[in-house]
């Protein structure tokens, strides 16, 4: 057999994006399908897995729960074509649905490790006036040596306390930084709100936002 074989391009790109507005109400699988459509409409050639059901090579190191806005999310995608970050963002921008915005892109060197999340930052708005006793509740949680919680339909409990790296009352609401690198389990912002006696906060009109996904360097 004669002829030359071209080596397939496999370009891995890390993208920062925002997911806001009504888009916060779609689940993670729907978000992945949304990304696939956006890339396809932008004319970008994605790499696919092998097997009977090939899937685009996309990775989200920290899936965002339904109902929470993401202001600085992270995803990685593998492309089967060469491009530069600026050109990639230019091609994607016209095809994004309302609520989705691409913020930055970085072409990763060959062999670089996949993104691993170290911690996550959140904000939770509070009604006006805010519920009484919040500073005392925060102090009680932060000063505790442990804070076991059990989720519905789970037999085992996890210790919330070591997962809460920062928790404070700010002018516009609560801010928190949660550790996701520990082996004992992970916690979300709703777990923290429940521990503070604020489980009904979202039903009262409060918004949850993830403000940062902090990746290990």
pLDDT (tens place) for every residue of the chain, 217 residues total? 444 434 567 899 999 999 999 999 999 999 999 999 999 999 999 998 888 888 899 999 999 999 999 999 999 999 999 999 999 999 999 999 999 999 999 999 988 888 899 999 999 999 888 888 999 999 999 999 999 998 777 778 899 999 999 999 998 899 999 998 766 678 899 999 999 999 999 998 889 999 999 998 7
**Model pLDDT, residue 184:** 63
**Model pLDDT, residue 216:** 85
Q: How far apart are CA 180 and CA 62, in angstroms?
A: 9
**Model pLDDT, residue 121:** 97
Question: What tokens were used for 85?
Answer: 């970050």
Q: How far apart are CA 163 and CA 133, in angstroms?
A: 22
The answer to whether 193 and 199 have CB atoms below 8 angstroms apart is yes
Q: How far apart are CA 174 and CA 178, in angstroms?
A: 13
Domains recognised in the chain with CATH numbers? 11-107 (3.30.70.580), 117-215 (3.30.70)
Q: How far apart are CA 42 and CA 34, in angstroms?
A: 12
**Model pLDDT, residue 128:** 81
Q: How far apart are CA 183 and CA 51, in angstroms?
A: 32
Overall residue count recorded for the chain in this entry = 217
**Model pLDDT, residue 91:** 97
pTM score over 0.85: yes
Query: Torsion angle, CA of 172/97/14/120, rounded to 10 degrees?
Result: 20
CA distances from 129 to 67, 78, 206 (A): 23, 48, 12
Is residue 66 helix, strand or coil? coil
Query: Torsion angle, CA of 25/31/33/34, rounded to 10 degrees?
Result: 80
Q: What is the DSSP letter of 25?
A: G
């Amino acid at each position: 057999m004669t002829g030359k074989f071209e080596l397939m391009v496999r370009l891995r790109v890390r993208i920062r994006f925002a997911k806001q507005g009504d888009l916060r109400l779609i689940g993670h699988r729907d978000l992945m399908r949304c990304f696939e459509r956006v890339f396809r409409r932008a004319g970008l050639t994605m790499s696919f897995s092998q097997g009977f059901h090939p899937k685009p090579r996309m990775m989200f190191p920290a899936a965002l729960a339904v109902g929470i806005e993401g202001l600085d999310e992270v995803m990685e995608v593998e492309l089967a074509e060469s491009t530069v970050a600026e050109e990639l963002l230019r091609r994607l921008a016209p095809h994004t649905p309302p609520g989705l915005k691409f913020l930055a892109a970085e072409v990763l060197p060959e062999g670089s490790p996949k993104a691993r999340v170290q911690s996550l930052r959140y904000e939770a708005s509070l009604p006006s006036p805010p519920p009484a006793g919040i500073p005392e509740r925060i102090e009680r949680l932060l000063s505790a040596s442990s804070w076991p919680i059990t989720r519905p339909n789970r037999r085992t409990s996890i210790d919330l306390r070591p997962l809460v790296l920062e928790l404070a009352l700010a002018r516009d609401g609560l801010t928190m930084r949660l550790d996701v690198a520990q082996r004992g389990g992970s916690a979300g912002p709703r777990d923290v709100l429940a521990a503070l006696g604020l489980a009904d906060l979202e039903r009262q009109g409060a918004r949850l936002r993830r403000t940062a996904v902090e990746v290990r360097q």
